Amino acid sequence: MNDDNNQSANRAHWSSTFGFIMAAAGSAVGLGNLWKFPYLVGQNGGSAFIVIYAILLVFIGVPLVIAEITIGRFGQLNPVGSYGLISPRLKWVGAMGLVTGFILLSFYPVVGGWILYYLYHSFVAFGENPDYAKIFTEYTSDPYWPCITLLIFSLMNYIIVALGVEKGIEKYSKIMMPALLVILIVVAIRTITLKNGLEGMRFIFQPDFTKVTGKTILDAVGQVFFSLSLGMGALMTYGSYLSKKDNLFKSSISIPFIDTIVALLATVAIMPAVFAFGFKPTAGPALIFITLPAVFDQMPMGSFISIIFFTLMLFAALTSSISMLEGLVSYITDKRHLNRFWATTLVSVVIFLLGIPCALSFGKLSNITIFSGKSIFDSMDFLASNILLPFGGIMLAICVGWIWDGGLRYETIIVRNQKGNPDVVTNGYVFNTCLKEITNHGTLNFPFMSAWIFIIKWVAPIVVFTIFIDNL
Ligand code: PHE
């Protein structure tokens, strides 16, 4: 259990590249894919949203994923330590990531608890002709139940992280992620083959650009960061357990790939069912907890589908929240203040306490608002997803593009002969520490390198900054 309490050289590592990919994709695949993405598609004009999301994903998300993992593998430390190795003045960027982790962990596990409640009720029905809107409101506004389910979810999260990188996170991700994919495909096949299911498919794939507004683009950027776990150091921490021999580029790009497939599959699994039974696709956040249970009730084999669906949600939420927790734990263990067991215990107690106000913000504490009328829960979500993650992304791009080892730059080197005439002229990117890290000192190919550099230096900071300012 104390294996990653040692010096960075012999700190814990993934046992295989597959293990890393499952854990990192597990971090990315979460409520963002299964819950937020389908309702954003429903509200923002179907594939019109998908197209905008895809553009931002490819041109901003993917390059930043590579950048974040690169810093982690270079530093072989937690986010504060790794940023600190680039420049001691950048430690605050890593520290901001840790703060973001605490904020995310104050509300994300609350939803994990809701999922447990619905999973339980997939086995034990809510009663005759249930009114799901009422059930959801009553449950979330109860003074005890949301805290109890939060506690159970937090315990699961705690146990996996306390077991360590290889024996906990990697082992459980390798089971939960493939299971999640299989379950999702089963649910998708079931719903597409429903009567009227194809109408739902048409809704998803027929773009309605009249629904696209400035807010759609904001939502899409926020979703790219949230869904890819970008900007708080979760991927950086996972990258720090990668071995120096791994192919960083290849392992990194499989994460957004899996993340997007799951988001699309989830949409395909949910929308046709909503249509087939005459519900509205624009239900928003309530889609999963109010609309879907009603859909499952009417569907042949519905209770079975409900059980496997909420199991899928549980796996997805767990593999994401363990990655949030691991960033915080790695900071304490790297500092050698505490061993893994005590570090995980301490952080878990703190985040459980932070989670209680969020869990109660639909009931007892619903009259407390922070940002312009937003409840505690919504404020934490807003602060993390719309402010801190994109800001972390801007800083990440600036660090890699402009600061780390002189930044990414193109140089023309002229060697002159004795007469002062140019003898050798070489043009090219300076092979700095960052590019050496990605290519394992030039032994691996880095496809699209020039495009990547251009995006990291210019496109990502400018685009995200513009949207960010607009957001505020
Ligand atoms: N990517 C996760 C999801 O889609 C959420 C997450 C954000 C996880 C940030 C870790 C860090 O649900």
Instruction: For tokens 């312009």, name the residue.
Output: 372
pLDDT at 5 over 50: no
Mutation choice for ligand 1 from 323, 325, 380, 381, CB with most ligand atoms inside 8 A: 323
Q: What are phi and psi of 116, to 5 degrees?
A: -60, -40
SS3 416: strand
Higher per-residue confidence, 1 vs 256: 256
Residue nearest to atom 6 of ligand 1 (CA): 229
Six-digit token string for 13: 């590592």
The pLDDT score that the predictor gives to residue 114 is 96
Measured distance CA(14)–CA(251) in Å, rounded: 12
Measured distance CA(171)–CA(158) in Å, rounded: 15
pLDDT at 204 over 90: no
Higher per-residue confidence, 60 vs 467: 60
- Indicate if ligand 1 lies below 6 Å from the C-beta of 292: no
Task: Indicate the burial class of 442 (C-beta count within 10 angstroms; 0-12, 13-18, 19 or more).
Answer: exposed
Mean pLDDT, the chain, rounded, equals 91
Distance from the alpha carbon of residue 99 to the mean position of ligand 1, in angstroms: 15
Residue 310 one-letter amino acid: F
Six-digit token string for 412: 């023309």
Q: In this structure, what DSSP letter does residue 375 have? A: B
Q: Which of 19-33, 298-312, 405-419 has the highest mean pLDDT?
A: 19-33
Please give the full DSSP string across 242-293, using - where no structure is assigned. S-TTS-HHHHHHHHHHHHHHHHHHHHHHHHHHHHHTT--TT-GGGGTTTHHH
Distance from the alpha carbon of residue 397 to the mean position of ligand 1, in angstroms: 19
Q: Which atom in ligand 1 lies closest to the alpha carbon of residue 31?
A: 12
Mutation choice for ligand 1 from 53, 103, 223, 227, CB with most ligand atoms inside 8 A: 227
Residue 163 one-letter amino acid: L
Residue nearest to atom 7 of ligand 1 (CA): 229
Q: Which atom in ligand 1 lies closest to the alpha carbon of residue 316?
A: 12
Six-digit token string for 83: 């940023």
- Indicate if ligand 1 lies below 6 Å from the C-beta of 234: yes
SS3 239: helix
- H or E stretch including 447? none
pLDDT at 1 over 50: no
- Indicate if ligand 1 lies below 6 Å from the C-beta of 229: yes
Residue 452 one-letter amino acid: W
Q: What are phi and psi of 432, to 5 degrees?
A: -85, 180
Higher per-residue confidence, 320 vs 373: 320
Lowest mean pLDDT among 140-149, 195-204, 415-424: 195-204
Mutation choice for ligand 1 from 226, 267, 381, 386, CB with most ligand atoms inside 8 A: 226
Measured distance CA(267)–CA(53) in Å, rounded: 14
- Indicate if ligand 1 lies below 6 Å from the C-beta of 260: no
pLDDT at 8 over 60: no
Residue nearest to atom 9 of ligand 1 (CA): 229
Q: What is the mean pLDDT of residues 187-213?
A: 85
pLDDT at 183 over 50: yes
- Indicate if ligand 1 lies below 6 Å from the C-beta of 384: no
Residue nearest to atom 12 of ligand 1 (CA): 30
The pLDDT score that the predictor gives to residue 423 is 87
Measured distance CA(285)–CA(269) in Å, rounded: 16
pLDDT at 4 over 70: no
Measured distance CA(72)–CA(248) in Å, rounded: 11
Q: What is the mean pLDDT of residues 5-9?
A: 44
Measured distance CA(337)–CA(194) in Å, rounded: 56
User: Can you state the percent helix, strand and coil of the chain, rounding each to 5?
Assistant: 75, 5, 25
User: For the whole model, what pTM was predicted?
Assistant: 0.93
Q: In this structure, what DSSP letter does residue 174 have? A: H
Q: What confidence tens digit (pLDDT) does each residue in 101-150 have?
A: 999 999 999 999 999 999 999 998 888 888 888 999 999 999 999 999 99
HSE, CB side, 13 Å, CA atoms: give it for residue 424: 3
Q: Within a 10 A sphere around the Cβ of 406, how many other Cβ atoms? A: 11
Q: What confidence tens digit (pLDDT) does each residue in 212-235 have?
A: 888 888 889 989 999 999 999 999
Q: What confidence tens digit (pLDDT) does each residue in 292-309 have?
A: 888 888 888 889 989 999
- Indicate if ligand 1 lies below 6 Å from the C-beta of 30: yes
pLDDT interval class at 282 (50, 70, 90): confident
- Indicate if ligand 1 lies below 6 Å from the C-beta of 328: no
Distance from the alpha carbon of residue 229 to the mean position of ligand 1, in angstroms: 4
Q: Residue 227: CB partners within 8 Å, gap ≥ 6? A: 28, 30, 32, 33, 36, 37, 259, 263
Torsion of CA 152, 148, 31, 324, to 10 degrees: -60
Measured distance CA(184)–CA(181) in Å, rounded: 5
HSE, CB side, 13 Å, CA atoms: give it for residue 398: 14
pLDDT at 10 over 70: no
The pLDDT score that the predictor gives to residue 129 is 84
Kind of pairing, strands 410-416 and 422-429?
antiparallel
pLDDT interval class at 3 (50, 70, 90): very low
Measured distance CA(426)–CA(415) in Å, rounded: 9
- Bridge partner residues of 410 (DSSP): 429
Six-digit token string for 151: 């506690």
Q: What is the mean pLDDT of residues 362-366?
A: 91
Q: What is the mean pLDDT of residues 267-282?
A: 82
SS3 411: strand
pLDDT at 89 over 70: yes
- Bridge partner residues of 405 (DSSP): none
Q: What confidence tens digit (pLDDT) does each residue in 151-173 have?
A: 999 999 999 999 999 999 999 99
